[in-house]
Structure 1
Amino acid sequence: MAAAMTRMLQLLLITTLIHVARGKVRVQITNMIGYKDDMNITCQSSDDDLGQHVLSYGQSMEWKFKPNFSKTTLFHCNARWCDVMRRIDFGAYEYMKDHYGCGSDCRWMFTIDGVYAYDSKTDSWDFRFSWYS
């Protein structure tokens, strides 16, 4: 009985490790604010600082990563346009929310109205944040 339980736990651990090793996530952020409006964005996690990016209209930045084993991966971003007139701080990826939400393909679109997130289940963009909060 104890040997069977030990074997089951070993299989569960191996399955979990394989899933984590294979499970890369892609996050993409796109500027669709306006033709003349550049967006400045910085993103980081506790392990990675992706630096500052300046996105012109229609440009995107993206990165790929493997969520950590403890399921605490969080990428936080700060975006602004019109100098500091419009600014949003947001979680671009949070494992406990996004693993089952966007899965392995998390897309954000910034518009004049605010920020939208792509929902692959409904193939639509859902409004998430306003610049004017």
Structure 2
Amino acid sequence: MKKCMVLLVLGLASYVTFISIIKQNDFDSKSYDVRIINGFSNNSSLPLVIWCESEYSGDMGGRALQEHDDFSWTVKSGLWKTPLFFCTIKWDGKRKKFEAFRVTRDRYRCEKYRQCFWLVKEDGFYFSDDEVAWKKDFSWM
């Protein structure tokens, strides 16, 4: 009985220590808006085809995006929920699969406005958290 009490006290002390180290916000669920925009200057005859999926949401379906069209969704994350969304984008013989939202990467760079934007252009994929300052993340190849 005495051994059980010692284990219980040690377990409780470990739990209290763990809770004091982790910020309360890390337990809260956070939402992020993810938006992928067709930023091509002239592709009205050849749309940007996008297909997205997630390990949590499954297949989100495909879309054919004309100039300035977008595909968007909301991601919910928390301490025990680390969603990953990836999309395959095709245009004029080019094809690229990329991580549209990965919580371990994007919770920091999207934190300020809780928005993650992707602008797909002829020369590559640009990222922004405010739709003003765009940074090229990678090329098609």
Matched residues in 2 for 1:113 and 1:105: separation? Answer: 23
1:100 aligned counterpart, secondary structure: helix
Partner residue, 2:103: 95
Partner residue, 2:124: 114
Is this contact kept in 1: 2:33–2:75, CA < 8 A?
yes
Query: In structure 2, do the counterparts of structure 1 residues 12 and 66 end up closer, same or farther at CA, with 3 Å as the change threshold?
Result: farther
- TM-score normalised over the length of structure 2: 0.75
Task: Structure 2 unaligned segments of length 5 or more: list them.
Answer: 1-8
Q: How does 1:18-29 map to 2 (within 5 A)?
A: 19-20=28-29, 23-29=30-36
1:129 and 2:138 aligned:
yes
Cα RMSD (Å) of the superposition? 2.6
How many corresponding residue pairs?
125
Partner residue, 1:55: 65
Offset, 1:68: 4.5
Query: Which of 61, 74, 81 pairs up with 1:64?
Result: 74
Matched residues in 1 for 2:136 and 2:19: separation? Answer: 43
Matched residues in 2 for 1:63 and 1:74: separation? Answer: 13
Offset, 1:94: 0.6
- TM-score normalised over the length of structure 1: 0.79
> Is the radius of gyration larger for structure 1 or structure 2?
2
Query: In structure 2, do the counterparts of structure 1 residues 27 and 86 end up closer, same or farther at CA, with 3 Å as the change threshold?
Result: same
